[in-house]
Amino acid sequence: MKASVRLEDKGSLELSGVTPKAPVPTAYLMLCVLPLDDIHEVDLDFSLTYTQQFERSITGNIVLPL
């Protein structure tokens, strides 16, 4: 099975601290999947690295049923 997958960044991503009274900014990313055969799900591994007082990293996995 083949798929064309592109993750498109929709601008700079500024993550501010989260407090109960402040809104949380939304990260706008667009995932484009172009099926080339009979694809039923897309399995994505991701990693996000950011710096607050020191560098931190978040990794994970998302499965998207199509």
C-alpha–C-alpha distance, residues 26 and 29, integer Å? 9
- CA 30, distance to chain mean position in Å, is 8
pLDDT tens, position by position, 1-56: 555 556 555 556 555 555 566 655 555 555 566 666 677 777 878 777 777 788 88
Any bridge partners for residue 48, and if so which? 58
Tokens of 33: 């999947």
| pLDDT band, residue 62 (cuts 50/70/90) | confident
